[in-house]
Each structure stands twice: as structure tokens, then as C-alpha cells.
Amino acid sequence: MDIVYPYKSAPDDFELRYSLRSLVNVPHERVIVAGDRPIIISREVVRIPVDPMADRYQSSTANIVAAIERAGVTGDFILMHDDMFVLEPWSAQHEHRGTIDEYMRAGGAGGEYLARAASTRDLLRVHGVAEPLFFGLHTPTIYNAERVLDLVREFEGRRYLLRTLYHNLFPAPSRQRDDVKVRAWTGSAGGDVLSISDECAGHPDFKSWIAARFPERSSYEVASGGRCLILGYAPTVWAEAEAALDEGAFDVVIASPEAAESWPGEVTALAYDDNHAEHLARVYGFDDWTWCGRTIKEAA
């Protein structure tokens, strides 16, 4: 099965990097990222750019639909999110957290999410599901591409939680489990799947832990081997680039938006000043790079 990530950009694509590495535990075919453009993905990933929408729920659904329609996803596929890490070998399974009413009574959610849970329950009851289950887990799940498209068309303009709506309308044997979302990092995690909050993602201890858990770079990341070229804003950029190219080709090119327009090859990432360019080079794993058109003079 293909794996689809509906993606909203996050700092340095940190979570996505390690989520992709964790796919060593998930048998799959292609990986498709739809939505914002990650900076760390290689050509092994099918990238589908989608403009974000103001409503994050609609935006996520639109990314999934775009992946299906524009990447040619058919049949069953696995839905992942960048804040999910598969810690152990994983196989397809359907899981829920009890009924929607039980979830709402537990008081663990509020605001728009709670409103959408209630709306989803009401829609399902109208469609003959007397006691809808709540499938709002932060774990991978299985969808069927054709069914997703049909469902999205049928419920256009309605408020719903896609995962809960889908699995109630297309039921399969499922088991109940607690959610795996960790809101505050305590030093370690177990189980088959881990999902983290933004607070955890920024915690230095978590960053060290996940890097130790998945130290091997995946084929889905831009490789840090080879040479890195940075094309800056200074008027000397092209003369310096010509001299740099005399020494051989570059594997990664980071460029200012202006330089990117004139560069004849592929630009890996856009940088908006010198510091940003060097930061991106480090994100890609480089300790050394070739500067052309640097605007900030290096200290003597």
C-alpha cells in the first residue's frame, strides 16, 4: 500500500524526518506528501503541492484528496501524519476509543474539535449508525481511495472528522485502545506507535531520544553526501558560481529566490538571507558548503 502524509510545514521538517525514518517498520510501496513543501525530502517521495486552506480540517482533507487524484492512489492506502512514529513492526489494524458520546463525556476536548465530533455523531445517526464509535487516534489508519473521494463529495460543506466518519460508514472489525499522543515529554516512550505534541517536538530531550531511536537516514531524505552550493544575493554570485562549477557538480543547491530563477538546474531549497541559507545546509546534514554571492563577510 502507498503511504500518504497530508503535510503542514513545521520547523526544519523535524518530525517528518523521523516519521519517515520510522517507516522501516511499515511495509509499503510509495510515500506521498501532499500539502506544504518539505525541505528535507528526496526524489524518492512523491510531492503534491496543495495551497493551504484557512480551516485546518478542510485543508488536511484537501491534501488527502489531492494525493489520491494527482498521485494516482488507488485501492487501500495508509494515512500517516508527521507527528507519528512507528516504533515497532506495524500491520494494518482498525482501532477506536469507544463511542463518540463516551469521548465527549470524558471532557478531553473542546472548541472546534469537540464541535466537529458532535456534528460527526449527528451525521452518522442520520445515516443509520445508532452508536457511532470514535476513531480519533493518533496512529496510522487505512483508507480506501475511491471510498474517500465518494465520502468527501457526499459530505461537502458539512463539518466532520474524516477518520471517524469514514470508519463508521465503512466498518471493519476493530479493537478499542487508548490514544498514543504524548503531550509532555517524560524521557522515554514504548508501545507500537508514538505521537507527540508541538511541545514535545521542541524538547531537547525528545530530540535526542528520537535521533537515537532512528539514527539511520532514510532514502526519503535529501542525502548529505556530495557537495552543497549556496547562491546568495551579492552581484558576484554568477562569477563565483562559474568558478565553483569548474571543480565539479553539486548535489544540493540552496539559492535566494532571485538566483533560483536563473539557475538552470534543480534548486533544493530557497533561502532568504545568508544565515537562513547556512541553517538550511545544516538541516540537510552538511558541515561544509560552497558560497557564491555571500552578502555577509566572514570574520577574519
CB atoms within 10 A of CB 13: 22
List, as one string, the DSSP characters of 234-294: STTHHHHHHHHHTT---SEEEE-HHHHHH-SS---EE-SSHHHHHHHHHHTT-S--EEES-
Residues of the chain with pLDDT under 70: 224, 297-300
Element (H, E) at 207: helix 204-213
pLDDT at residue 299 in the model:
47
Give the rounded distance of the alpha carbon of 81 from its chain centre: 5
Say what the pTM is: 0.87
pLDDT at residue 298 in the model:
58
List, as one string, the DSSP characters of 75-110: SEEEE--TTEEE-S------EE-SBHHHHHHHT---
